[in-house]
Amino acid sequence: QKEVEQDPGPLSVPEGAIVSLNCTYSNSAFQYFMWYRQYSRKGPELLMYTYSSGNKEDGRFTAQVDKSSKYISLFIRDSQPSDSATYLCATGWGQNFVFGPGTRLSVLP
Amino acid sequence: GAGVSQSPSNKVTEKGKDVELRCDPISGHTALYWYRQSLGQGLEFLIYFQGNSAPDKSGLPSDRFSAERTGGSVSTLTIQRTQQEDSAVYLCASSSGTGVFREQYFGPGTRLTVT
């Protein structure tokens, strides 16, 4: 079993849709939960991170963590074509980060 | 400000040749990471530097892979006797090395193709 599993996609949605991206992880020692966004031919950039179970909002983005079920989600409201990218979940502790394979999202105008 | 830079951006090499990939981290960042990203795969951790030392080399896939960091700044990842399965995007990231959560800032990557 991989340490972090993620729906591979690709996922195509119309502009304005609500997008739900999900990951599961296996190691209960993981303390941080992150979402990175990666545009084509670019490096990943941190979108959001959280330490605890529950929701964290930042504009149109909401990160949700359920430690009891080891489940991580990212919701994007009012999706825009500029949100088209690959979204990678990541988790870890200290200097140890483990990344999921990423979900490729296309938001169609 | 200047972000993480990597060179070359693209490298095509013949099987069996050696390659060197370079990473310039953000100035002042003490921690530096190398990852490999293959199509459909997540970021595969290769090695982590704190300053010039590498406390964690566990991700290096074989003894053909080595990395060094000098002056607490620039790092070089060397792949000897390249194989076709080494084809991937090699990403470098740096972080400040302080604080409980240490955001990693990524470079644009080097796309390596072994023919």
Look at B107 and A41 and tell me if their CB atoms are within 8 Å: no
% of chain B with per-residue pLDDT over 70: 95
pLDDT at B41 over 80: no
Q: Which of A85-89, B8-12, B46-50 has the lowest mean pLDDT?
A: B46-50
Q: Strand (E) positions, chain A? A: 4-6, 11-14, 19-25, 32-38, 45-50, 54-58, 61-66, 71-76, 85-93, 96-99, 103-108
pLDDT at A57 over 70: yes
Q: Is the dihedral of CA B52, B58, B59, B60 positive or negative?
A: positive
Looking at mean pLDDT, say which of A53-62, A85-94, B12-21 comes out highest. Answer: B12-21
B31 inside 8 A of chain A by CB: yes
* Separation of alpha carbons A92 and B100, rounded Å: 12
* Separation of alpha carbons A101 and B56, rounded Å: 22
* Separation of alpha carbons A48 and A62, rounded Å: 8
* Closest CA of chain B from A41, distance in Å: 7
Please report which confidence band the pLDDT of residue A1 belongs to, taking 50, 70 and 90 as the band edges.
Answer: low
* Closest CA of chain B from A48, distance in Å: 10
Please report which confidence band the pLDDT of residue B98 belongs to, taking 50, 70 and 90 as the band edges.
Answer: low
On average, the pLDDT of chain B sits at: 92
